[in-house]
Amino acid sequence: MAGLFDQQADLYLDARPTYPFQWYSMLAACTLHRSLAWDVGTGNGQAAIGVAEHYEQVIGTDVSEAQLQHAIPHPKVKYLYTPLSISDEELLSSIGGENSVDLITVAQAVHWFDLPKFYSLVTRLLRKPGGIVAVWCYNDIAVSPTFDPVMKRFHDTTLPYWNPNIQYVFDGYKTLPFPFESVGLGSEGQPLALDIPKKLSFEGFLRMLRSWSAVVTAKNQGVDLLSENVVKELKSAWGGSNLVRSIAYKAFMLAGKVKL
């Protein structure tokens, strides 16, 4: 889905939650070696720099140049622009070659991929034995009994503007094909449920909504889903623009190794 997040790249960096550091420790404990990791659909590099705390080198790739312009620098992370036109062999070579990668991560992005093509690359790149692939997403946001129903009504208005692939996220990755052997951190049809805690102001929350691809798509079609009245209703249910809330993003993970 190249270009889907180009327009709101700055908002995307500002608004998205930070994945808990324990996730990366948990994944690193499942790999036999910690030499090389590949973060796919890296966007602003948020997951890549988390992975870099445990691996000697991380390569973060994305099909969006606009996203990579906002990538967070880190001495262990190398960012690469990988246009859709790049061949499998070129991509393999740029990452490290077959049987070279200890951990492959995809944060909030695998549902946009050509899955058979991607999984074929994963199978070739992962170190065998000992390499694993982990994909995760988040969907619902738990704020409060007052706010959550108002948020549900807003979310329903966005449904016509999402790409169909977003259904995987709405399903919490329960329907996402994932042809890898379980390592105990979620498997095909049975994702591991996780929470992402975050302290968030109403303005931060609003920036997150504005970064949604459905909101941008609707706006490009002349429909303002976040009209003044909608924002007013959300703000009132939140408790006012000055209130900082402790919320939880509901997340789901699948992790596995190549079946031998």
Tell me, what CATH number does 76's domain have? 3.40.50.150
Side chain identity at 252, as an amino acid letter?
A: F
The predicted model gives 214-222 an average pLDDT of 95
Note the pLDDT of residue 13: 46
Query: Residue 258: which region, alpha, beta or left (left: phi > 0; alpha: psi -120 to 50)?
Result: beta
Side chain identity at 11, as an amino acid letter?
A: L
Say if pTM beats, i.e. exceeds, 0.85. yes
Is residue 224 in a domain?
Answer: no
d(CA 188, CA 199): 31
d(CA 170, CA 188): 16
- The total domain count for the chain is 1
Asked if pLDDT for residue 94 goes beyond 80, the answer is yes
Pairing status of strand 132-142 against strand 244-257: antiparallel
Asked if pLDDT for residue 48 goes beyond 80, the answer is yes
In this predicted structure, which of 2-11, 38-47, 78-87, 206-215 has the lowest mean pLDDT?
A: 2-11
Is residue 243 in a domain?
Answer: no
Q: How confident is the model at residue 16 (pLDDT cuts 50, 70, 90)?
A: low
3-class secondary structure, 248: strand
Is residue 124 in a domain?
Answer: yes
If we measure between CA atoms, which residue out of 213, 198, 212 comes closest to residue 245? Answer: 198
pLDDT digits (tens, 9 = 90+) for 194-206: 999 988 889 989 9
Is residue 214 in a domain?
Answer: no
Q: How confident is the model at residue 15 (pLDDT cuts 50, 70, 90)?
A: low
Asked if residue 56 lies in contact with residue 36, where contact means CB atoms within 8 angstroms, the answer is: yes
State the residue range of the domain holding 51.
Answer: 1-141+165-197+249-257
Is residue 146 in a domain?
Answer: no
Is residue 28 in a domain?
Answer: yes
Is residue 86 in a domain?
Answer: yes
In this predicted structure, which of 124-138, 163-177, 198-212, 216-230 has the lowest mean pLDDT?
A: 198-212
Is residue 244 in a domain?
Answer: no
